[in-house]
Amino acid sequence: MAKASYRSRELLTPNPKAPLREQVREVLRFHHYSLRTEKAYWQWIRRYLAFQRNPDHSGPQRGWRHPKELGAPEVAKFLAHLALSGNVAASTQNQALNALVLLYEQVLQQPLGDLGEFARVTCPARLPTVLTREETQRLLSALKPGTGGLIIKLLYGTGMRLMECLRLRVKDVDFGSGRITVREGKGGRVKPRRTWPRDFRKRFV
């Protein structure tokens, strides 16, 4: 049995008079989700509602049903459809599940509970392909000087996410100790300092 639950966090009651999309946006921004996640989650909510729409588009809402009228059986049916007919990856199905769990638990405050058994996308076991040290050195040395090469080396040397690197400011860089502070990390958190590659300091100081 699959039990849908969201990580414990403070609840925000969105404006009930606002359109559903605005309620979803209000909750996501309250919890400091990225704009990319906001767009992706709304896409899945929209696809879920379209999947549940009456085929004849009849009625005052032209066949659209409010998610409050739906629940765990409908969510499980949609997720099974993604696995069996949507040809999606396991991570994609999991993202759809996360979006719908957030919709019901955080926006509608109507937890789904037990989803029962539904078809899941299985991940084939495979070993990751990684570069050797020599290959990595050749790749980095082949980068052209400039902003692009600097960003790639920072990503490799510090383990930052792309958007974390692009949002860096001067005050986030400590040249004396060779450390970087990520102030706008995933979820709006300030992340511990990351040590940058050894040869970077001499390029700027």
pLDDT tens, position by position, 94-144: 999 999 999 999 999 988 888 877 778 777 767 778 888 899 889 888 888
Rg of the chain over all Cα atoms, to the nearest angstrom: 22
Listed in sequence order, the residues at least 6 apart from 116 whose beta carbon sits closer than 8 Å to its beta carbon are 1, 2, 72, 73, 76
If one counts every other C-beta atom within 10 angstroms of the C-beta of residue 188, the result is 12
C-alpha span between 108 and 48 (Å, rounded)? 15
C-alpha span between 74 and 99 (Å, rounded)? 14
Structure confidence at residue 74 (pLDDT): 92
Domains of the chain: 2-116 (1.10.150.130), 133-204 (no CATH)
Please choose, from the candidates 82, 54, 56, 52, the residue with its C-alpha nearest in 3D space to the C-alpha of residue 68.
Answer: 52
Q: Write the pLDDT tens digit of every residue in 66-78.
A: 899 888 899 999 9
Structure confidence at residue 189 (pLDDT): 64
Q: Write the pLDDT tens digit of every residue in 22-32.
A: 999 999 999 88
Query: What sign does the CA torsion over 139, 142, 145, 147 have?
Result: negative
Whole-model pTM: value is 0.69
Residue 8 pLDDT > 60, yes or no?
no
Structure confidence at residue 3 (pLDDT): 55
**What are the φ/ψ torsions at residue 173 (nearest 5 degrees)?**
-105, 120
**Most trustworthy range by pLDDT among 24-28, 169-173, 190-194:** 24-28
Structure confidence at residue 141 (pLDDT): 87
Q: Are 197 and 153 in contact (CB under 8 A)?
A: yes
